[in-house]
Amino acid sequence: MSTTPATGKRPALPAALGLPAASALVIGSIIGTGVFALPSALAPYGPIALVAFGAVTLGALALALTFGALAGRTTASGGPYVYAREAFGEFAGFLNAWSYWITAWAGNAAIVVAWVGYVEVFVNTGHRKWISVLLALAGLWIPAAINLTGVRNIGAFQVVTTVLKFVPLVFMATVGLLFVDSGNFGSFNASGQSALGAISAAGAIALFSYLGLEAASVVAGRVREPGRNVPRATVYGTLVCAVIYILGTLAVFGTVSHTKLGGSTAPFTDAANNIFGGTWAGDLVAIAAIVSGIGALNGWTMLCAEMPYAAARDGLFPGVFARLRGEKDVPAFGIVASTVLASLITVFSYTRFEDVFTKIVLLSVLTAVIPYLFSAAAQLYWLLVRGRDALSPRRLARDTTVAALALAFSYWSIQGSGYQTVYYGLFVLLLGVPVYVWLKRDQSRSTATEQRAPETATPDVRHSRGLRTNRVGGARKPRSLRHQD
């Protein structure tokens, strides 16, 4: 099957995801390998990073409630792209689709870098760079192959990997807390910055752990009863992840010394080994982290294709992204193109940066926050324009407060990303402007051709200077005759 936006039709997508699968997609997209590497990325800031994690959790819950409200009204696939387009027009919708698409494949690069850290608990323990790169490429293309087999297989794989990844995280969030030693925490603010600066910087990194909370809204068209199931999956999935995240990170901070944690490539493995002694417990955690990473990459690879598919279907992304292939209606080009880009940025990062994970994380966070910001703004716009007629005063006040918090949180996250990240993020975002111009050019030509009658020739301007033409080739009357229209 092949579809293009030129037909003006929106094919019905197979609604193969129920509430359990949609919830698993949210949880699986949020909990990737990133959370297993996050304690090491936060270690340079000290325990004050836990304060940042708490603040980020509140912001993430505000975003989850906002996405839930938006998804309850708009059940088409596309998530932030759809919300921005409907509230603010095509250009805003395009920028959101472009930014989120970058987030998806760049985020996959960050996830796979963390995933390699746990794979190398068993192989390439010397961390030879090119072997690490090959492992990373395998980690990107295995989920791509699964995605090419269809949505039903994606959902089943997501449920299995979500269950398996919970075991070590729940263990650290419960039993691990019993082994916390306050001597391992180190200085409360080890960053050398002010407390507010440290919280903002650590918060920008911590936000990466919640990317994916909007996953169910992005694939809403593939969810059964989306008006009911998408909001539930979004809010419930985020709440579950929030509890496990905060308690699990606290346990790792308290069971691994601060000096060792900063240089660890597998902090949950180190924490498990310190609790039980030996290496067997850490090996089990590493296996779970490997499974978790594949599950997250599986979900995010789906998002890599679904967002541009939704935009291309409306003519706001190259038409090739809107073509569905095979009996399973798979957006194959989006899957392959996004995986190629993730592979390229992974190879580039391994050869250019020492702190590969943190660099890619910050770029992914920035490009994700832009769609989050527009989504919160779209919710506020709807509340101000239609909220009084559709909601009770109490519900209106509550939803407005939540949307305002989500908007403020988005601005705070951008500020905490740092000048260099904002520079690179703005650069890659604005690279989309020429793409938009190119798309609109083709649409304008097509519209002009359709509107011009076949038997009507374009006036020859050289022989009719007093008769100008409008933008679609029709004759425009002289100014002296316009008052008679």
Give DSSP secondary structure letters for 257-285: -HHHHTT-S-HHHHHHHHHHSSSHHHHHH
On the question of pLDDT at 107 being above 90, the answer is no
Average pLDDT over residues 210-239: 83
Residues 6 or more apart from 47 whose CB is under 8 A from it? Answer: 185, 186, 188, 253
Q: Are 99 and 367 in contact (CB under 8 A)?
A: yes
pLDDT digits (tens, 9 = 90+) for 331-361: 889 999 999 999 998 888 777 655 666 777 7
pLDDT for res 475: 42
The pLDDT tens digits for 420-474 are 788 888 888 899 999 999 888 866 665 555 555 444 444 444 444 443 444 333 4
Q: What is the pLDDT of residues 268-323, one digit of tens each?
A: 888 988 888 878 888 888 888 888 788 878 878 887 888 888 888 888 888 889 88
**Cβ-proximal residues to 132 (8 Å cutoff; 6+ apart), any chain:** 116, 120, 124, 350
| Cα angle value 248/251/252 (rounded, 5°) | 90
CB 31 within 8 A of CB 244: yes
In whole angstroms, what is the distance from residue 220 CA to residue 13 CA? Answer: 10
For residues 211 and 370, the answer to whether their CB atoms sit within 8 Å is no
DSSP 3-state of 127: coil
Instruction: Give the residue carrying structure tokens 């709440």.
Output: 239
pTM of the model: 0.75
Look at residues 355, 374, 359, 350 and name the one whose alpha carbon lies nearest to residue 417. Answer: 359
Given a cut of 80, whether residue 16 has pLDDT beyond it is no
For residues 202 and 197, what is the distance between their CA atoms, to the nearest angstrom? 8
Which of 124, 98, 55 lies closest to 318 in space, CA to CA? 98
